[in-house]
Structure 1
């Protein structure tokens, strides 16, 4: 069952949990903000639902609490960061802030970060740039999840791409996995005891898995070199464009692991503690192309033209960011949606760390 919870109270609880792990108050606030931001924008797969996974990584040392990101190569417009396995949200904020600083000074900033951790949604970091009046992009590789076209074995990560640009009445934000759905969405459906409604998961490269109770196969999504994986964006066939999602996943590898000389998805199978995700952060100042306000206004007008196109009866035309804004306004008024299984996980973590769950959520 899904219930709604006060976002401010939930954020305070999450903050206290991360303080109990040993993160500073300032860093705990940043981590909590990214998680609640995600849930408030309707992306339940990557919000507080991810806390159980982070808890596991903190306990087994995969996430190192006191790590500090280090610049290992830098130019006026670029940098390579070694994150030393700190938590992904802090690495992402540090890296995008550096990209933004370079874009403000030189028109563009590109930062690629290695040995990081799962950083949540790519769109959060892209929107950091948009909130500063810049175009933002971010992507990350991950553990192998995607089955390349005509393969029977996962090799590429879900490798999402986030893009954001300032617009009126709210920013344009596009955030998508290069698989049909991210791993987290499978986890949410299993928690809610719902069957998978489309060809999201492939066995032996061609056979769909829909039954959420098929634990024997679905559990293999986390097993290296198994015969179960996520379909590329576009599906398993070139006829439906699956090779395009496959290709986009490779592009993400270029901007994350290849340019940083870090670890590619296929190396990140969880067996080696010295291997971790790589990420990229790009900020571009529209002013290098002309009048910034004129560019943003033209883009905003363009998006509005799309919204006002004739719509299929019973449907509304949304551009990217519209649904997230609707979700944000609803969550601000009525609370964020969290399923019972996730609440149980959070309560267990809080209890173990000596944080009073009931003080924040009843």
Structure 2
């Protein structure tokens, strides 16, 4: 069952929880802002639903509360960051802020980060650039989850890609895993005891897994040696474009782990405390190509032309960012959506840390 909760009250609870772990006031504010931003935009798989995973990582030492990101190589337009296993959101904000600074000074900034942690939705970081009138891109590798085309074992991560560009009436944001869906969406369906609606998970290379009662198969998604994995964008057949999602996942690997000399997907495991995911952050100032305002206006007209195309009866044409904007207005007014199991997890964490949660859930 899912219910609605006031976003401001839940943000305050998340802020107190991270202070309870020992994060600073500023860090706790950044973490609460990012997680609630995610839920406000309708992406429940990566909002407060992820608190339990981060809690586990903090307790076992995979996330190190007092670590700070370090610049280990830098040029005018680029940098490599060693995050020293700090919480991924804090590393992401630090890295994107640096890329934005470089883009403002030199027209472009590219930062790649190693030894980080799960950083939530890639689109949040791309949007940080767009909020300042810039084009932003971000991506992240992860532990093996994707089945390469014709393979029976996962090898590539979900490896999301995000792109954000200023537009009217709101920012264009494209954010997607290079698998058909992210791992977190599978977790949400399991919590709600819902069958998967499409070929999101396969075993033995091409056998669909749908039934939520097949818990052995879903549990095997965490086992790189199991014959179960997430389908790439395009499914599990070249006829439907499986090789395209697979190829995009490899490109993400280049911009994250290969360029940073960090851990590739197959070297990342939930239990190994000496490895962490890698991320990339790219920012471009449209002004290096011409009048920024005219470029954004032209892009906005282009998007509006798409929205106004003839649509299938009963359907609406959306461009990327439209649904998120609609979700934000709804959730800001009526509350963010949290399922009962996730709420129990949040209450459990707050109780252990001695944080009062009553105001947020009543």
What's the TM-score once normalised by structure 1's chain length? 0.99
Match of 2:230 in 1: 230
Segments of structure 2 that go 5 or more residues without pairing to the other structure are none
Match of 2:214 in 1: 214
Distance in 2 (CA, whole Å) between partners of 1:246 and 1:36 is 31
Match of 1:38 in 2: 38
Match of 1:20 in 2: 20
Match of 2:247 in 1: 247
Distance in 2 (CA, whole Å) between partners of 1:332 and 1:54 is 25
SS of the residue corresponding to residue 360 of structure 1 reads: helix
Instruction: Tell me how far 1:197 sits from its aligned partner.
Output: 0.7
Match of 1:268 in 2: 268
Instruction: Tell me how far 1:224 sits from its aligned partner.
Output: 2.3
- In the TM superposition, 1:144-293 aligns within 5 A as 144-293=144-293
Distance in 2 (CA, whole Å) between partners of 1:24 and 1:360 is 21
Distance in 2 (CA, whole Å) between partners of 1:202 and 1:30 is 37
- Tell me: CA distance 1:271–1:354, structure 2 relative to 1, closer, same or farther (3 Å): closer
Distance in 2 (CA, whole Å) between partners of 1:302 and 1:120 is 30
- In the TM superposition, 1:292-331 aligns within 5 A as 292-331=292-331
Residues 208-239 of structure 1, C-alpha deviation per residue, up to 9 Å, x if partnerless? 10011111111000112211100000000000
Residues 72-117 of structure 1, C-alpha deviation per residue, up to 9 Å, x if partnerless? 0000000000000000000000000000000000000000000000
Match of 1:88 in 2: 88
Contact 2:40 / 2:328 at 8 angstroms: preserved in 1?
yes
Instruction: Tell me how far 1:42 sits from its aligned partner.
Output: 0.4
Instruction: Tell me how far 1:269 sits from its aligned partner.
Output: 2.1
| Number of residue pairs aligned between Structure 1 and Structure 2 | 362
Residues 273-303 of structure 1, C-alpha deviation per residue, up to 9 Å, x if partnerless? 1111000000000000000000000000000
Instruction: Tell me how far 1:271 sits from its aligned partner.
Output: 4.1
Residues 138-182 of structure 1, C-alpha deviation per residue, up to 9 Å, x if partnerless? 000001100000000000000000100000000000000000000
Residues 299-319 of structure 1, C-alpha deviation per residue, up to 9 Å, x if partnerless? 000000000000100000000
SS of the residue corresponding to residue 216 of structure 1 reads: helix
SS of the residue corresponding to residue 154 of structure 1 reads: coil
Distance in 1 (CA, whole Å) between partners of 2:64 and 2:103 is 30
Distance in 2 (CA, whole Å) between partners of 1:269 and 1:141 is 12
